[in-house]
Amino acid sequence: MIVMTKDTMEIVREQDVVPFRNRVREFSTKIGMSVVNQTKLITAASELVRNMLKYANGGKVILEIISNNAKTGVRLTFADQGPGIPDLSLAMKDGYSTGRSLGLGLPGAKRLVNEFDLKSQPGQGTTVTVIHWKHGR
Partner 1 sequence: MQNQLSDAGLRDDLMTNDELLRQSEEMLDALLRAIATGNFDDIYATEYETITDTLRDISITRARQGFSPRETAQYVLSLKKAVVEVLEQERSDDYITLYKESTSINTLLDNLSIVTFETFIKGREEVILRQTDEISEISTPVIRVWNGILALPIIGTLDSARTQVVMENLLQEIVNTGSNIAILDISGVPAVDSLVAQHLIKTVSATRLMGAECIISGIRAEIAQTIVHLGIDLSNIKTKATLASALQLAFSMTNVEVRRIDKNVGLRGTR
Residues binding partner 1 (CB under 8 A): 14, 17-18, 21, 35-36, 38-40, 42-43, 46-47, 50, 94, 101-102, 104-105, 107-109, 111-112
Q: Which amino acid is at 99?
A: G
Looking at the Cβ atoms of 70 and 102, the one nearer to partner 1 is 102
Looking at the Cβ atoms of 47 and 80, the one nearer to partner 1 is 47
SS (H, E, C) the chain: CEEEEEEEEEECCHHHHHHHHHHHHHHHHHCCCCHHHHHHHHHHHHHHHHHHHHHHCCEEEEEEEEEECCEEEEEEEEEECCCCCCCHHHHCCCCCCCCCCCCCHHHHHHHHCCEEEEEEECCCEEEEEEEEECCCC
Looking at the Cβ atoms of 111 and 135, the one nearer to partner 1 is 111
Closest approach of Cβ 99 to partner 1, in Å? 10
Closest approach of Cβ 88 to partner 1, in Å? 18
Looking at the Cβ atoms of 65 and 112, the one nearer to partner 1 is 112
Closest approach of Cβ 19 to partner 1, in Å? 11
Neighbours of 90 (CB within 10 A): 10
Closest approach of Cβ 3 to partner 1, in Å? 26
